[in-house]
Amino acid sequence: MPILEHVTFSIRVPTQDFLAANAQIDTWLAARPGFLFRHLASKDDGSWIDLVGWANLDAAQAAAKALMEELMDAPAMQAIDPATIVMTHAQLHVAR
């Protein structure tokens, strides 16, 4: 069952710096097994939403674990305030 990963957080750098740094994350995610899509969105209050589609929960959880091990020093990851991160997963239902 496809999974939607929903992550909210705040950043500690200017928006343009954060977006530029995400090219590395996008490339890394695209190479992960089960990756479907990613969308970043910013809210009026300055917080961010990162929506990532995965083929299944196992792929989502494996990627989250690997991301923490492999990319914690990446500029995009360092730009995020870790105290503000909230991650959830839900089944993705696509209207036909």
The CATH number of 3-87, from 3.40.50.10860, 3.30.70.100, 3.40.50.720, 3.90.1150.10, is: 3.30.70.100
What 8-state DSSP symbol labels residue 84?
A: G
The closest of 69, 1, 59 to 30, measured between CA atoms, is 59
Strand pairing of 86-91 and 47-54? Answer: unpaired
Residues 91, 89: Cα–Cα separation, whole Å:
7
* Residue 68, token pair as written in the block: 């923490």
pTM of this structure: 0.92
Using an 8 Å Cβ cutoff, are 51 and 5 in contact?
A: yes
Every domain of the chain and the residues it spans: 3-87
Residue 28's pLDDT is what? 97
Residues 76, 22: Cα–Cα separation, whole Å:
6
Give per-10-residue mean pLDDT for the chain (96 aa): 96 96 96 97 97 97 95 95 96 77
